[in-house]
A and B are shown apart, each in its own frame.
Chain A
Amino acid sequence: MTFAALATTAGLSQTRGFLSPTGVEIAFLLVGLVTFGAAVVTVTTRQLVHAALWLVVALGGLAVEYLLLTAEFIAWVQVLIYVGSVVVLLLFGLMLTKAPIGRSPDADSGNRWAALAVAVASAAALVWVVVDAFRTTWIDLDGPAEGSTEVTGQALFRNWVLPFEALSVLLLAALVGAIVLSRKAKATPTGTASHGPSSGADGPAAAPADGPAAGPASASEGRPSSQEGAR
């Protein structure tokens, strides 16, 4: 996340001259700064749920950047998959862990310097690649949208069908793997007979209190991948 934000903000400084920036460029830069700030707060805050919510801001800011680059379809998919599903999954997991309100004293890692080094290295690599690849590419904001659904779809299914299919197979494998893993977990003898999807058999009061912890957690693991696979 941080890398992408870095890439976008740093990549911008390479674009057309600073002397006569257009409104869109200014907006792009400002949104990029917000995105970058939210991303930094996400990894530095000591409050776990706040980190997840700042991640929403960062991912949403990225969607706005896509919009400003006329890639409308990608922007909505970004909101749909990341804000609407991945963050919900994160929050679901956090709620299961009794994340406290306020600071978590142990929300820290001894690897922070190593992580910072890796992050800076990745960001540098990404910025270098993006700048090198798109140095001379301009988007004509006044012409027909270059990132509309139609254009994206044609590019995807005319020029990039093979990578697309390869990705589908990868996601399908991940989906099958998630199902296999959750099945194995169920087979271990940990007293699973009392809860789980044994609908109707046990008392109505006991099942809802116990069921959701086991059912959706295992089921939802495969979900984002299945969704992307369906696309």
Chain B
Amino acid sequence: MNDALDVALRLLLVFVVFLTFPLIVGQTEHKVMAHMQGRLGPMYAGGFHGWAQLVADGVKFAQKEDVVPAGADRRIFQLAPAVALLPYLLVLLAIPIGPGEGAVGQVVDAGVFFVLAVMGVGVLGSLMAGWASANKFSLLGGLRTAAQLLAYELPMLLAAASVAMAAGTVSLPGIVDAFAWWWLPWQIVGAIVFFVAGLAELQRPPFDMPVADSEIIFGAYTEYTGLRFALFLLAEYAGIVVLCGLTTVLFLGGWHGPWGADGLGWVWTLLKTAVLAFVVIWLRVTYPRLREDQLQKLSWTLLVPLALAQIALTGVVKVVNQ
């Protein structure tokens, strides 16, 4: 009975995090973008600085009619948002926020493989949406999504493999346990490659060619309205939380901090994740969108060689250090 209660409590906690953190990131995005562009952003909903704007948006989305285009492949069209969203919930289960067994939803032995594999599945949702909408813009969006995933998953995997080599384990808590401060300069190239590739996999600006609204009208999501569209948006923000959490755990030392690490490890994890999420928003406001061929070129001619070089460096240091 106690075990069942423990599992239920963990699942509930992860679910709460899954429901709230993306909203916090979304609201932060509203405000940060607004202030970077010299305006206020939403100010009225909820009273204090428009904190309830996303709740109001959610109510609005829920009220909208759920339209399925006549020519669409009905079932796949309706299934796609769930396929896009659920993988991030599963990934969240495996990310440790503090030391010990108590601070992770579920310890997964091959954690790095688990999170990368499941994150890759989320892209299937966009592909299904793009194809099933029976809309040429959606199809273009789906094509670009697929091309982008194929290009960017390889450098992401290679960068993660470099950290796993450095730590000598593929379990996420194990990697953070092995972390030392000099890993920062040692793995910095891998960290940048991982973060950039992750941004591209989430289709966040400047890598948002698959959803380019001014060009192919939000790509795969053109035909979606109401709650299903909101689910896709939620998937994007959940993806930001997951990517920032993963980068923190893999490259920035997770719960290790320069001081006060005892008992406050989870604060460090959340703090680093929040800073990274801010960087994600910052990049959206400041960088122009990359063209599709530039996207491909960046991955295949820059990120993949850099990731391979990082792996070589990791191997050399590891052997010399022994």
Contact = CB atoms under 8 A, between A and B. Distances in A.
A177 interface: no
Contact of B124 (A88, A96, A101, A211): A88
A220 B147 contact: yes
B252 to A, nearest CB: 23
B113 A76 contact: yes
A79 B150 contact: no
A77 interface: yes
A101 B109 contact: no
B151 interface: yes
Interface in A175-216: 196-197, 199, 204, 207-208, 211-212, 215-216
A79 to B, nearest CB: 4
Contact of A91 (B71, B131, B144): B131
Contact of B297 (A92, A102, A199, A204): A199
Contacts of A207: 291-293
Contact of B143 (A73, A92, A148): A92
Contact of B117 (A76, A196, A211, A212): A76
B321 interface: no
A92 B109 contact: no
Contact of A230 (B120, B127, B143, B161): B161
Contact of B146 (A83, A88, A145): A88
Interface in A151-186: none
A88 B127 CA distance: 8
A83 B120 contact: yes
Contacts of B113: 73, 76-77, 80, 149
Interface in B134-164: 134, 139, 142-144, 146-147, 149-151, 153-154, 157-158, 161
B47 to A, nearest CB: 44
Contacts of B73: 49, 101-102
Interface residues of B, number: 47
Contacts of A73: 109-110, 113
B117 A79 contact: yes
Given A95-B130, A149-B170, A230-B161, A208 B292 contact: yes
A92 B128 contact: no
B157 A87 contact: no
Contacts of A122: none
A211 B294 CA distance: 10
B131 A223 contact: no
B291 A95 contact: no
A62 interface: no
A87 to B, nearest CB: 7
Interface residues of A, number: 44
A95 B143 contact: yes
A211 B293 contact: yes
A216 B158 CA distance: 19
A65 interface: no
B143 A72 contact: no
B209 interface: yes
B150 A220 contact: yes
Contacts of A76: 110, 113-114, 117
Contacts of B151: 216, 219-220
B154 A56 contact: no
Q: Which one of B144, B209, B215, B296 has the greatest number of beta carbons of chain A within 10 Å?
A: B296
Given A95-B142, A101-B73, A208-B292, A84 B110 contact: no
A49 B154 contact: no
Contacts of A95: 127, 130-131, 139, 142-143, 146
A180 to B, nearest CB: 16
Interface string A68-89: 0000110011011001110111
Given A72-B109, A227-B153, 17 more contacts: A49-B73, A49-B76, A53-B128, A85-B120, A91-B131, A95-B143, A95-B146, A101-B132, A101-B134, A149-B113, A197-B297, A207-B291, A215-B147, A216-B146, A226-B154, A227-B154, A230-B161
Interface of B: 71-73, 76, 108-110, 113-114, 116-118, 120-121, 123-124, 127-128, 130-132, 134, 139, 142-144, 146-147, 149-151, 153-154, 157-158, 161, 170-171, 209, 215, 291-294, 296-297, 300
Interface of A: 49-50, 53, 56, 72-73, 76-77, 79-80, 83-85, 87-89, 91-92, 94-96, 99, 101-102, 145, 148-149, 196-197, 199, 204, 207-208, 211-212, 215-216, 219-220, 223, 226-227, 230-231
21 contacts: A49-B76, A72-B108, A77-B117, A83-B117, A84-B117, A88-B120, A88-B146, A89-B150, A91-B124, A92-B127, A92-B143, A95-B130, A148-B109, A207-B293, A208-B209, A211-B293, A211-B296, A212-B293, A220-B147, A230-B161, A231-B161
